[in-house]
Amino acid sequence: MGGMDSAYDHLTPSEKRETPKEVREARTWRGHILFFFAVILAGALAWRLRNVLELVYVSALFAVVLMPIVQEIQRVKIRKWSPSRPLAIIVLVLGVIAALVLFFMLCLPPVLRDIHHFVEDLPQRLPVLVGKIHRLPMSDKLGLDSLAAKSQGMAASAAAYVFASVPLWLEHIFDVVTAFILCLYFMLEGEYAYDYFLSFFEPEARERLDKTLIRAEHRMSKWLLGQGSLMLILGITSTVVFSLMHVRYAILLGVLMGLFNIVPVAGGIITILLAGGVAALDSWTKMAGVFLFYAIYVQLENGYLTPRIMKTSVNLMGLAVLIALLAGTALAGIVGALVAVPTAALVAVLMDEYMVQKS
């Protein structure tokens, strides 16, 4: 049978048409079987390398998001000279480093001071908070007595937990550094990989896919600007409001509110619960004020800011964003939630081009 296949491959088109139908069908079935097992093998390999593929995807995504900034730097002209792409990327990296240094110089000292005071006050403040909760109805069923008895040793337990988590944090830091390096390489050499990917398609299909992906790139690149604007607005607003309410560690809480806002929904819930718990150390009135502020801000953000900042850029329905967040979180945790919205924008553009039936 193998000899027959070898001879069949060297036949002319007219001779192939004269080849018995059974031989052609057998060859087709063998091709389908081989393709099936190749897909299974590729799927198993992708699952085995899912962490690596996740890093590669996140790096490529941020490279796509940041490339418009690099291109804007390249358009700067000093007489007849314009910066090359490597130089533009270096300028972007130096700008990010300068922004981080400025942030650490201006904001980190008060944040560290608030953290220090919080750690010192927690063992003393926690029993007070537990006592306040004791006065609530049904508080005897919450098991707070044991919590109050153990509150003095919570600092040591927290320190032991942090020490035990050092290897995990180092692994995460290594992943961040790796993603950063991959992102730089994608910005430098991503076009070559993109052209190679397009070469697998026929010329007509290649041109259509190229135009579609360019539209998706423009849509995804605006996500970072919109998300950064929302983070800055929430960080500044919460810092000002917490300071006016005399909430402890206002600067720390404001910075956390802004930073965690990059993780949609979950980031805001985590930080507002933390801010409410800190405010409850002083009084229930402050805690109620913190929750009231966040409830008003969420309505303002969802009803006014997000439609004008994110919808004009990413142009996704709220339901699509929510589904994307749920799927991204289930697949890759916080990282999945982080890249869910730009990924949803990419999928939306592809579906609009290839699946939506236009009249």
What is the per-residue pLDDT across 51-77, written as a single tens digit (0 to 9) for each?
Answer: 888 888 888 888 888 888 888 888 888
pLDDT digits (tens, 9 = 90+) for 274-293: 888 888 877 888 888 999 99
Query: What's the confidence (pLDDT) of residue 1?
Result: 45
Which of 120, 121, 353, 316 is CA-nearest to residue 214?
Answer: 353
Any domain includes 138? no
Q: pLDDT tier at 315 (50, 70, 90 boundaries)?
A: confident
Residues 283 and 169 reside in one and the same domain? no
User: Looking at residue 292, what is its pLDDT?
Assistant: 92
Considering only residues 190 and 305, tell me which one the structure prediction assigns the higher pLDDT. 190
Based on the domain organization, do 279 and 319 belong to the same domain?
A: yes
Same domain, 22 and 104: no
Question: What is the distance between the alpha carbons of residues 55 and 5, in angstroms, rounded to a whole number?
Answer: 43
User: 350: Cβ–Cβ under 8 A, 6 or more apart, which residues?
Assistant: 212, 216
Of the candidates 313, 95, 329, which has an alpha carbon nearest to the alpha carbon of residue 224?
A: 313
pLDDT surpassing 80 at residue 256: yes
Give the confidence band of 247 by pLDDT, cuts at 50, 70, 90: confident
Of the candidates 219, 197, 237, the residue with the CA atom closest to the CA atom of residue 314: 219
Does a structural domain hold residue 127? no
Domain's final residue, options 200, 216, 235: 200
Q: What is the pLDDT of residues 73-119, one digit of tens each?
A: 888 888 888 888 889 899 988 988 888 788 777 766 776 776 677 67
Per-residue pLDDT band for 273 (boundaries 50, 70, 90) equals: confident
Domain end point (choices 200, 230, 255): 200
Same domain membership, residue 306 and residue 189: no
Q: Which residue has the tokens 């964003």?
A: 321
- Residue 337 is predicted with a pLDDT of 75
Q: Tell me if 139 is assigned to some domain.
A: no
On whether residue 108 sits in a domain, the answer given is: yes
Same-domain status, 30 and 57: no
Residues 41 and 91 in one domain: no
pLDDT digits (tens, 9 = 90+) for 147-199: 555 544 554 555 555 555 556 666 677 878 888 899 889 988 888 888 888 88
Is the pLDDT assigned to residue 140 strictly greater than 60? no
Does residue 187 share a domain with residue 57?
A: yes
* Residue bearing the bigger pLDDT, 132 or 152: 132
Same domain (yes/no): 292, 357:
yes
> Looking at residue 170, what is its pLDDT?
64
Position with higher pLDDT, 216 vs 160:
216
Whether residue 123 is contained in a domain is answered as no
Does residue 136 lie in a domain region? no
Per the structure, the complete domain to which residue 186 belongs is given by 51-113+155-200
pLDDT, mean over the chain: 77
80 and 178, same domain (yes or no): yes
Angle at 344 between CA 201 and CA 333, to 5 degrees: 115
Q: Are residues 35 and 97 in the same domain?
A: no
Question: Is 122 inside a domain boundary?
Answer: no
Give this prediction's pTM.
0.64
The count of domains in the chain is: 3
Per-residue pLDDT band at 4 (split at 50, 70, 90) = very low
Domain C-terminal end among 144, 169, 200: 200
Q: Note whether residue 125 is domain-resident.
A: no
Whether residues 38 and 93 share a domain: the answer is no
Q: Are residues 11 and 62 in the same domain?
A: no
Whether residue 338 has pLDDT greater than 50: yes
